[in-house]
Amino acid sequence: MGLMTGKNVVIFGIANKRSIAWGIAQALHREGARLALNYQNERMEEPVRKLAAELPGNTFLAPCDVTVPGDIDRFFDRLGKEFGPLDGLVHSIAFAKREELGGNFVDTSWDGYALAQQVSAWSLIALCKGAAPLMAGRDASVVCLSYYGAEKVVTNYNVMGVAKAALEANTRYLANDLGPKGVRVNAISAGPIKTVSAMGVADFGSLLDTMAQKSPLRRNVDQADVGNAALFLLSGLAHGVTGQTLYVDAGYSIMGV
């Protein structure tokens, strides 16, 4: 019997094999979870459907773009009817316009700021609201993905750093709101990993190089490292943990000079 046997988890944010959400899906599947997945739009349906087929036992796949009015409600309505109650939710989605992920932070536009907040931070609140009726009385757990740029200045991360700061604050407020209903909410602050989203940050390669050279473990982390940490937070092993940001960054964040 696996750590997640008998548990239903919905994962938002698989785009391809490099996605952190795919690493999380693999860890949860290995431990016996039944998974439901979203795909952002029609273009992404085919690749996500192919990946889902690699995890036998998946019974649910549906579109959800968090910026499309009604999409979140439609997704959870179908999920409730076709998949059942939920023991876990993974929020592994973020977006900012490429022009906001480089250059001077002072040039951030309102449109770019608002879009980054909507997709990367507000959506955690909206997905928790949609999932709450399905998680009631289930001892459920929510996990989202953050980055060090939420608390320290990381060159070029700019508007996404501010969105991640909001995401981590959302994590704490949601943990307080949903705790009395038995729902835990935590964030993982992952070290840099080469994914499609990450490549949108100007000079991303230098973040990988710096971490490999300066972190206590002298290496980068990968999707499996984050997947296993998410597994812990989603499982009963983390029964007493909520509102926290767990660093999965080879220790980089503890370093001073």
Ligand X SMILES: NC(=O)c1ccc[n+]([C@@H]2O[C@H](COP(=O)([O-])OP(=O)(O)OC[C@H]3O[C@@H](n4cnc5c(N)ncnc54)[C@H](O)[C@@H]3O)[C@@H](O)[C@H]2O)c1
> Which residues are annotated as catalytic?
147, 157
Q: Which range binds ligand X by CB under 6 A, 2-10, 193-201, 211-219, 230-238?
A: 193-201
CB 140 within 8 A of CB 87: yes
Contacts (CB under 6 A) with ligand X, residues 62-121: 65-67, 92-95, 119
Instruction: Tell me how far apart the alpha carbons of residues 43 and 126 are, in angstroms, rounded to a whole number.
Output: 23
Q: Which residue from 44, 29, 76, 95 is spatially nearest to 230, judged by alpha carbons?
A: 29
Q: Which of 9, 10, 11, 15 binds ligand X (CB under 6 A)?
A: 15
Q: Which residue from 134, 122, 133, 126 is spatially nearest to 36, judged by alpha carbons?
A: 134
Q: Which of 117, 158, 170, 197 binds ligand X (CB under 6 A)?
A: 197
Q: Which range binds ligand X by CB under 6 A, 16-24, 53-61, 77-85, 229-237?
A: 16-24
Nearer to ligand X, 20 or 175 (CB): 20
Q: Which of 4, 145, 159, 250 binds ligand X (CB under 6 A)?
A: 145
Phi, psi of 147 (to 5 degrees): -150, 155
Least spacing, CB of residue 196 vs ligand X, in Å: 4
CB 8 within 8 A of CB 36: yes
Q: Which two tokens stand for residue 57?
A: 């036992």
Q: Which of 88, 112, 192, 227 binds ligand X (CB under 6 A)?
A: 192
Q: Which range binds ligand X by CB under 6 A, 14-22, 73-81, 126-134, 211-219?
A: 14-22
Q: Which two tokens stand for residue 51?
A: 């990946």
Least spacing, CB of residue 34 vs ligand X, in Å: 20
Nearer to ligand X, 136 or 210 (CB): 210
Q: What is the per-residue burial (b if ≥16 Cβ within 10 Å, else e) of 81-106?
A: eebebbbbbbbbbbbbeeebbbeeee
> Residue 186 has what DSSP assignment?
E
The residues that touch ligand X, with contacts defined as CB under 6 A, are: 13-15, 18-21, 40, 44, 65-67, 92-95, 119, 145-147, 190, 192-193, 195-198
